[in-house]
């Protein structure tokens, strides 16, 4: 399988350098981070596929489940920037979802320092690589049936991040109510799941909305009082 990690990481770093980032990234799970509904497509319990398997769990029948190809590096890159990550899923099988997140192990490799002195001993890729559980990358997890409004109210209460500084990736349009009612920037995912292009477009869309809102506030501030026109 092709390794997208370097390509995705470099693109992520460029995106961060371009401008401000949301203060919290939230993701649905089913058909957003992985290609299945864990309440109907798999038979729990889910566990790591083998002792050294990366990004792969299996259910009780041996059916595999993995993140979409770009997802591991996107999550790891966000974690490196210390931007909080939240899971917001309305699945009716929260235990299975958490089993999947606990069983999906990811490779996190430190990039080689660009400014390393020429004669200093370089650490090998193996020395710069650690294995992490996907679930450890999530700062907040709201995984239970019901409206995503409830999920985000709890995320907001726990994180204290303003709704307008959050971005949410989800494959179901009905969940865009979090944007209409709360102000969370909603990004609809296609049926092929989260990928780098959708992620980048989502962040740039959030930036554009933020800039428009700030411009509108400045226009109101600069407007002369009535009677002085």
Give the pLDDT confidence score for residue 228 in this predicted structure: 59
Task: Say which CATH number the domain at 213 has.
Answer: 3.40.50.1000
Kindly list the catalytic residues: 28, 30
In a domain, 209, yes or no: yes
In a domain, 206, yes or no: yes
Give the pLDDT confidence score for residue 20 in this predicted structure: 98
Rg (CA), the chain: 20
In a domain, 117, yes or no: no
In a domain, 205, yes or no: yes
pTM for the model stands at 0.88
Can you give the residue range of the structural domain that contains 78?
5-111+124-221
The total domain count for the chain is 1
In a domain, 229, yes or no: no
Q: What is the pLDDT of residues 175-207, one digit of tens each?
A: 999 999 999 999 999 989 999 999 999 999 999
> Two tokens at 1?
């399988």
Give the Cα separation of 222 and 229 in Å (integer). Answer: 12
Give the pLDDT confidence score for residue 146 in this predicted structure: 96
Q: What is the pLDDT of residues 100-132, one digit of tens each?
A: 999 999 999 876 555 555 555 555 556 678 999
In a domain, 116, yes or no: no
In a domain, 118, yes or no: no
- Phi and psi, residue 141, nearest 5°: -135, 115
Give the pLDDT confidence score for residue 215 in this predicted structure: 83
Residue ranges in the chain modelled with pLDDT below 50? none
In a domain, 227, yes or no: no
Give the Cα separation of 151 and 148 in Å (integer). Answer: 5
């Amino acid at each position: 399988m092709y390794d997208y990690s370097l390509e995705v990481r470099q693109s992520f770093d460029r995106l961060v350098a371009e401008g401000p980032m949301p203060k919290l990234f939230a993701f649905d799970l089913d058909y957003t981070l992985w290609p299945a509904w864990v309440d109907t497509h798999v038979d729990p319990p889910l566990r790591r596929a083998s002792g050294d398997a990366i990004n792969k769990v299996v259910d009780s029948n041996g059916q595999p489940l993995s993140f979409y190809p770009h997802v591991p590096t996107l999550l790891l890159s966000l974690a490196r920037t210390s931007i909080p990550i939240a899971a917001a899923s309305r699945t009716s099988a929260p235990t299975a979802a958490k089993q999947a997140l606990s069983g999906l192990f990811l490779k996190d490799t430190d990039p080689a320092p660009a400014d390393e002195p020429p004669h200093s001993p370089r650490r090998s890729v193996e020395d710069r690589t650690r294995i992490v559980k996907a679930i450890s990358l999530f700062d907040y997890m709201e995984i239970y049936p019901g409206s995503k409004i409830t999920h985000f109210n709890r995320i907001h209460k726990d994180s204290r991040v303003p709704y307008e500084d959050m971005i949410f990736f989800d494959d179901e349009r009905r969940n865009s109510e979090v944007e209409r009612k709360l102000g969370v920037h909603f990004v609809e995912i296609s049926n092929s799941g989260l990928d780098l292009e959708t992620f980048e477009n989502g962040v740039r869309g959030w930036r554009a909305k933020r800039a428009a809102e700030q411009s509108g506030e400045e226009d109101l501030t600069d407007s002369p009082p009535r009677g002085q026109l």
